[in-house]
Amino acid sequence: MFSNPLPRRRAAVLAVSAAVAVGQLAMSSPASAKPAPVPAPSLTAPEAAVLPADTRFYTPRPDPGAEQQIADLERQGRTADAALIQGVIDTPQAVWFTSGTPKEVQKEVHRTVTQARAHKTVPTLVAYNVPGRDCSQYSSGGAADDAAYRAWADGFAAGLTKAGTVTVIIEPDGLPLMPGDCPDGTYDGQFVPTDEGRLADIRYIGEAIERANPAALVYLDAGHTGWHNVASISDRLQDAGVEQFQGFSLNTSNYQYTANLTQYGTWISQCLAILPDDYTHGVDTDPCPNQYWNGGPANGYRGVALDPMLEWSDTATDPAANTLGINQRFDALLGDTVPTEHFVIDTSRNGQGPWVPAEGVTYPDPQTWCNPPGRGLGATPQAQPDADAPLLDAYLWVKTPGQSDGECNRGIAGSTTDPEWGGITDPAAGAWFPQQALELARLAVPALR
C-alpha cells in the first residue's frame, strides 16, 4: 500500500458576483491554448453498470499512525476516544497507489484486489502518479514523464486482471488542476508536463484498466463545487474521454456538502449530454447553467451565486441556496436527451461541510482546503445512496480520514506552523494527524457508530 498525500485545495468561498467567480474559476490557460483533441478512443463506451445497493466495500489495512493512536489512547484510559478511532479504521475506504515501478504497483494492486475478493467486498483504488501532479506543491511527485506514467499505468492495470468488480478513481486533481493552470516557472526540470500529455495520460490509464478488467468502474476526478463551473470541468472531462468510462468522481479529499455535490454532479452529467464535441470553454458560448448564477424561471432570472457554506436545494428559502432556477434551465435544454455519465462522491470528511475562518480572523491565504478545524466524517460508503439521484453510484471514503492535507500555514510568510491548530506544525501530506483524526470522529455527521 502506498501513502495518500493528496491535499485538496480550491474550496474558497464563492464570489458575490457570478461573472467574477466564473472568470476566476474557469480555465486559467489562455483560450487559444486549449490542447489539441486526444486521439479517438480505442474503446467503445460501456453501458453504465450499477453497483447493487447492498454492495460491501473493502476495508484496507489501517494507517500505522491510527493503530498507534488507539494504543496511546487506551494507555491513557481514554477508551471512548480509542473506540472512535477504531470506528474510523473499521470503515471501508480507498487504497491509494502513488509511486513505485510498474512491477511494484502491479503486485500491490493485485494483492489489494485479491484480499478484497477473499472478503467478498468491492475495493476502491486510487491511481495518483501523473507527471507534475499538484503543480509541484504539497503533493508533488508523480512519474518522471508521460512514457514512465504509461508504463506504470500498464502495471496498475495488469494487477486488476480477473479482479471482478472494482471502483477506480483516476488522478485526483489531474483534470481540475492541469499543467497549464500552474504558475509560470512551476516546472523547471528536464520534463515539462503539458495539458495535452495530461489528457492523454488520464485517458491511457482508464483504457488500460478497462482492457485488463471490463468489470472495473472507472471514474475521472472532477474536483468539487467550489472550483470549476459546470461547463469548464465538463469540457475537460470530455477532452479526457469520460464518455467511454463509468463517469467521474467529486470532492476527493475535500469538505463540500453532499447535497451540493449531488446537484453539481447531476449538472455535469447533464452538461456533458448537450456539450458539443468541439466545445472550447472560454471561447465558445457557455451552454450549461452553473453554480455561479442560479437565475431561471423560478426567480424571474434574477440570479445570484450559490453559497457553498449553505446546503443547496430546489426548496431552499435563501436565494443563495436555491437551485430550482438552474434545474429548470437544464430541463429545458435537455428536452428528451438523457444524461448517462455516473459519478461518486468522497464523503470521508464532509459531515460538517466546508470551512472558513471565524468572523474577524483574517489570513493572507486561509487555505480552506488544508486541515480545516471543526470538520467531521461524512456518510459512510454506500452504493445507490440517493433514490432521487440515479446517476450517483456511491458515497465512498476516498481520502483516508486522519491523514494530513499538508503543513498548512494559512499563507503567513515565513511561518511553518498552523494557527488553527494551536500553532503546531501540521504533519506532512499523507502523514497521520491524531488531533484531526479524533476531531473528525467526534464531529461525524451522521454520528460514527
pLDDT tens sequence across 253-274: 999 999 999 999 999 999 999 9
- State the amino acid at position 74 in one-letter form: E
Tens digits of residue pLDDT in 171-230:
999 999 999 999 888 888 778 999 999 999 999 999 999 999 999 999 999 999 999 999
| Model pLDDT, residue 134 | 84
Determine the Cα–Cα distance for residues 298 and 302; give it in Å rounded to an integer: 9
| Sheet of 382-383, strands arranged across | 95-97, 124-127, 166-170, 216-221, 247-250, 342-346, 392-396, 382-383
Binning pLDDT at 50, 70 and 90, where does residue 138 land?
low
Q: What percent of the chain has pLDDT over 70?
A: 89
| DSSP string of 44-63, one letter each residue | PPPPPP---TTPPBP--PPP
Q: What percent of the chain has pLDDT over 90?
A: 84
Domains of the chain: 18-442 (3.20.20.40)
Go through 406-434 and write b for each residue having 16 or more CB atoms within 10 A of its CB, e for each that does not.
bbbbbeeeeeebbebbeeeebbbbbbbbb
Determine the Cα–Cα distance for residues 275 and 151; give it in Å rounded to an integer: 32
| DSSP string of 171-240, one letter each residue | -TTTTTS-GGGSPTTS--SS----HHHHHHHHHHHHHHHHHH-TTEEEEEE---TTSS-HHHHHHHHHHT
> Beta strands 382-383 and 392-396: pairing type?
antiparallel
Helix (H, G, I), strand (E, B) or coil at 124: strand
Query: Which range is least confidently modeled, 122-126, 140-144, 349-353, 387-391?
Result: 140-144
| Model pLDDT, residue 50 | 83
Report the mean per-residue pLDDT for the chain: 90
On whether the CB atoms of residues 383 and 43 are closer than 8 A, the answer is: no
On whether the CB atoms of residues 265 and 248 are closer than 8 A, the answer is: yes
| Model pLDDT, residue 117 | 96
Tens digits of residue pLDDT in 343-383:
999 999 999 999 999 999 999 999 999 999 999 999 999 99
Phi-psi region of 199 (alpha: psi -120 to 50; beta: other; left: phi over 0): alpha
| Model pLDDT, residue 121 | 98
Q: Is the pLDDT of residue 16 over 60?
A: no
| Model pLDDT, residue 2 | 46
| Model pLDDT, residue 425 | 98
Residue with cell 444524461: 339
- The average pLDDT across 35-57 equals 64
Closest CA to 63 of 22, 83, 91: 91
- State the amino acid at position 16 in one-letter form: V
Determine the Cα–Cα distance for residues 259 and 315; give it in Å rounded to an integer: 12
CA dihedral 173, 179, 182, 188 (to 10 degrees): 130
